[in-house]
């Protein structure tokens, strides 16, 4: 199943401020135009878009980045919770890990910092011991969706229409609209989906879900919108807004509106570079300007040094013995020289 990862969800647009739809086209009729997208049917665009989102989700796991989440809760229209949390997405043994660094504009310190450090160290220990199966399961879990909608089956489960063009971040985009078919009654398909697709590169720059029924913790009318920014030719999630209402029996079944804005910044490609160099050990006191020694020469030098050390120790031992016995120290042997 192809899904939208939570870390790839982004900014929800206010319905009232959404750009006006320009035209409408029947399903699978390619609209007239001069861009690459204009030559495609809604089904073709949906297929390319779903694969693009899957690719973006996969490549995002190769980056480190900073996530800033602003969470607000409202009860009876009154703001009750207002918190901002900053985390950095790093890698531990090749798996992403979110490490909290600040809350409400203040860096972690004291007990909070100690607790976060303990969580990090525990994660290091656990992930070091993971086998391949457990590691793969964690990677799959990271791709689970907040919307649960299988984008790979859009043309099967949804009525598709191309609604015209609009500009997103300076890019000319076509608008792909998807509404559930009458026979598509599964809860995860109760969505109104809208995508902004770059008309030339076919990158998805925005995908917006409106929930048409309660599902998976989201109430009817909830909005989940993902916005992507192209960095070095790669579309990466840059922001998210989702807005929903939940009910808690513990609060006398009062409705709590949850509004969350998330931004992702400071993307850096995660990689490791290892350089292996071969070298030989230089002599202890090389003479100035001397040529580097070969491996064989180094072996000879080490052997000669070992023999000289052994000889010096023997002579020192003999000299100490002679002095102890009141005899003159032995005369060191002088190597023969040939003229």
Q: What is the pLDDT of residues 134-191, one digit of tens each?
A: 766 666 555 444 567 889 999 999 999 999 999 999 999 999 999 999 999 999 899 9
Q: In this structure, is residue 284 part of a structural domain?
A: no
Pair (265, 303) in one structural domain: no
Pair (304, 196) in one structural domain: no
Tell me what the mean pLDDT of segment 84-103 comes to.
89
Pair (100, 199) in one structural domain: yes
Report percent pLDDT > 70 for the chain: 69
pLDDT in tens, 48-67: 999 999 888 888 878 899 99
Pair (232, 264) in one structural domain: yes
8 Å CB contact between 234 and 56: yes
pLDDT in tens, 280-328: 555 555 555 555 655 555 555 667 777 877 777 777 777 666 665 655 5
H or E segment and range at residue 98: strand 95-103
Pair (324, 208) in one structural domain: no
**Nearest Cα to Cα of residue 194 among 177, 174, 210:** 177
Task: Please give the Cα distance from 133 to 140 (Å, whole number).
Answer: 11
**Nearest Cα to Cα of residue 174 among 19, 10, 17, 4:** 19
Q: In this structure, is residue 276 part of a structural domain?
A: no
Say what the pLDDT of residue 155 is: 93
In this structure, what token pair is assigned to residue 255? 């409705």
CB crowding 137-157: b at 16 or more within 10 Å, else e? eeeeeebebbbbbbbbebbeb
127 pLDDT more than 70: yes
C-alpha separations of 52 from 44, 88, 203, 317 in Å:
12, 25, 7, 80
Q: How many domains does the chain have?
A: 2
Pair (242, 299) in one structural domain: no
Backbone phi, psi, residue 164, to 5°: 115, -155
Pair (313, 263) in one structural domain: no
Radius of gyration of the chain (CA): 34
Pair (23, 102) in one structural domain: yes
Token match 């409400």: residue?
Answer: 104
Pair (172, 313) in one structural domain: no
Pair (23, 131) in one structural domain: yes
Cα dihedral sign for 186, 219, 11, 140? negative
Task: Please give the Cα distance from 103 to 112 (Å, whole number).
Answer: 10
Pair (162, 301) in one structural domain: no
Residues 6+ apart with CB under 8 A from 52: 202, 203, 204, 235
Q: In this structure, is residue 106 part of a structural domain?
A: yes
Q: In this structure, is residue 274 part of a structural domain?
A: no
In this structure, what token pair is assigned to residue 194? 């809208």
Pair (257, 305) in one structural domain: no
Q: In this structure, is residue 283 part of a structural domain?
A: no
27 pLDDT more than 50: no
DSSP state letter for 55: H
Dihedral, 19, 22, 23, 24 alpha carbons, nearest 10: 10
Task: Please give the Cα distance from 227 to 308 (Å, whole number).
Answer: 74
- 117, HSE (Cβ side, Cα atoms, 13 Å): 7
Q: In this structure, is residue 109 part of a structural domain?
A: yes
Tell me what the mean pLDDT of segment 86-114 comes to.
91
Say what the pLDDT of residue 76 is: 86
Say what the pLDDT of residue 93 is: 77
DSSP state letter for 251: G
Q: Which residues pair with 113 in a beta bridge?
A: none
The pTM for the full model equals: 0.66
Q: Range of 302's domain?
A: 292-328
C-alpha separations of 103 from 7, 83, 106, 112 in Å:
19, 7, 5, 10
Residue 319: count of CB within 10 angstroms of its CB = 15
Q: In this structure, is residue 279 part of a structural domain?
A: no
Q: In this structure, is residue 281 part of a structural domain?
A: no
């Amino acid at each position: 199943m192809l899904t939208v990862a939570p870390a790839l969800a982004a900014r929800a647009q206010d319905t009232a401020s959404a750009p006006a739809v320009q035209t409408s086209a029947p399903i699978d009729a390619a609209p007239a135009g001069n861009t690459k997208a204009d030559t495609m049917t809604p089904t073709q665009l949906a297929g390319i878009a779903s694969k693009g989102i899957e690719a973006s989700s996969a490549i995002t796991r190769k980056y480190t980045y900073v996530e800033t989440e602003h969470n607000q809760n409202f009860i009876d229209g009154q703001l009750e919770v207002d918190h901002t949390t900053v985390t950095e997405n790093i890698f531990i043994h090749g798996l992403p890990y979110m490490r909290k660094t600040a809350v409400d504009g203040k860096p972690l310190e004291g007990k909070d910092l100690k607790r976060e450090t303990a969580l990090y160290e525990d994660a290091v220990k656990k992930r070091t011991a993971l086998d391949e199966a457990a590691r793969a399961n964690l990677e799959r879990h990271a791709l689970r969706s907040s919307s649960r909608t299988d984008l790979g089956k859009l043309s099967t489960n949804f009525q598709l229409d191309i609604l015209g063009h609009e500009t997103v971040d300076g890019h000319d985009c076509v608008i792909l609209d998807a509404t559930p078919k009458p026979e598509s009654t599964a809860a995860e398909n109760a969505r109104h989906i809208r995508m902004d697709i770059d008309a030339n590169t076919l990158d998805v720059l925005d995908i917006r879900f409106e929930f048409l029924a309660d599902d998976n913790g989201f109430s009817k009318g909830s909005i989940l919108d993902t916005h992507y920014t192209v960095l070095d030719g790669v579309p990466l999630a840059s922001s998210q807004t989702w807005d929903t209402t939940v009910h808690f029996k513990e609060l006398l079944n009062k409705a709590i509106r949850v509004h969350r804005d998330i931004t992702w910044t400071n993307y850096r490609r995660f990689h490791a570079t290892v350089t292996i160099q071969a070298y030989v050990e230089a002599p202890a006191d090389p003479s100035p300007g001397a040529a580097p020694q070969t491996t064989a020469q180094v072996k000879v030098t080490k052997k000669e040094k070992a023999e000289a050390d052994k000889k010096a120790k023997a002579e020192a031992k003999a000299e100490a013995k002679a002095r102890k016995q009141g005899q003159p120290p032995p005369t060191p042997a002088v190597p023969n020289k040939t003229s």
